[in-house]
């Protein structure tokens, strides 16, 4: 009985490793630089956004503290605008693979949609370095224990992307990494904007 439990646990661990490595390999593991406007170019492209969205843009690539309460207060303050929350970590290969899409789509739709990040179970120093290398036009909130991401009805594992409509209703949870910019854009249009 005990041997069977050990064998089952080992098989489960091997399955998790195989899936993780295959996802990392299919997405390249590290984002490519220069895929989207950053810094001054991103701010120029986002000029004229509604004030609530402009407030997010003014904190581009910042890693904010405050936990679940601060995150929820910010998200609730965005009512009237669709919200897209991307759960990520610097150590997560599929997260790193999809980050260029969030860089670009965050600028492309940043005048209509509120983008926010959740840095889940990550080292603060590593997360800040990662955001410095691969900036996005919105802030991320530190979620060191993963409790905020879990409260959004996202299951274990990263990345996760949670979509809300303008009334604040959760419309979709995308589990796993995006493998193309087109797939992310399609979900933003369908589950956030409502096209």
Q: Where are the domains of the chain?
A: 2-193
**pLDDT score of 35:** 55
Q: Are 145 and 162 in contact (CB under 8 A)?
A: no
Mean pLDDT of 1-6: 48
**pLDDT score of 121:** 94
Checking if the pLDDT of 22 tops 50, the result is no
Sign of CA dihedral 64, 65, 67, 73: negative
Checking if the pLDDT of 186 tops 80, the result is yes
Give the pLDDT confidence of 110-123 residue by residue, as tens digits: 999 999 999 999 99
* DSSP label at residue 50: -
Report the 10 Å Cβ neighbour count for 24: 18
Checking if the pLDDT of 195 tops 90, the result is no
With cut-offs at 50, 70 and 90, classify the pLDDT of residue 162.
Answer: very high
The CATH number of 2-193 is which of 3.65.10.10, 3.40.30.10, 2.60.260.40, 3.10.20.90?
3.40.30.10
Q: Which of 45, 70, 75, 65 is nearest to 57 (CA)?
A: 45
pLDDT, the chain, mean: 83
Model-level pTM?
0.81
Checking if the pLDDT of 145 tops 60, the result is yes
In Å, the largest CA–CA distance within the chain is 65
Q: Where are the alpha helices (DSSP H) in the chain?
A: 2-27, 39-46, 51-57, 67-76, 93-108, 124-133, 147-151, 181-187
Helix (H, G, I), strand (E, B) or coil at 16: helix
* DSSP label at residue 113: S
Report the 10 Å Cβ neighbour count for 27: 20
Distance CA 40, CA 73 (A): 28
**pLDDT score of 36:** 59
With cut-offs at 50, 70 and 90, classify the pLDDT of residue 15.
Answer: very low
Full strand arrangement of the beta sheet holding 170-175 = 63-64, 140-143, 114-120, 83-88, 160-164, 170-175
């Amino acid at each position: 009985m005990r041997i069977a439990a050990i064998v089952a646990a080992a098989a489960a661990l091997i399955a998790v490793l195989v899936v993780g490595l295959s996802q990392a390999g299919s997405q390249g593991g590290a984002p490519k630089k220069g895929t989207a406007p950053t810094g001054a170019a991103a701010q120029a492209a986002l000029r004229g956004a509604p004030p609530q969205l402009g407030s997010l843009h003014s904190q581009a690539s910042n890693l904010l503290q405050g936990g679940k309460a601060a995150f929820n207060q910010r998200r609730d303050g965005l009512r009237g605008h669709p919200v897209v929350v991307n759960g990520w970590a610097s150590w997560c290969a599929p997260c790193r693979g999809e980050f260029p899409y969030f860089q670009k789509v965050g600028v492309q739709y940043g005048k209509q949609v509120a983008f926010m990040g959740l840095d889940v179970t990550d080292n603060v120093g590593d997360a800040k370095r990662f955001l410095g290398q691969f900036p996005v036009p919105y802030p991320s909130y530190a979620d060191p224990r993963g409790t905020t991401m879990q409260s959004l009805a996202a299951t274990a594992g990263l990345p996760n992307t949670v979509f809300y409509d303008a009334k604040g209703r959760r419309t979709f949870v995308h589990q796993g990494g995006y493998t193309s910019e087109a797939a992310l854009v399609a979900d933003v249009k369908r589950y956030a904007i409502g096209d």
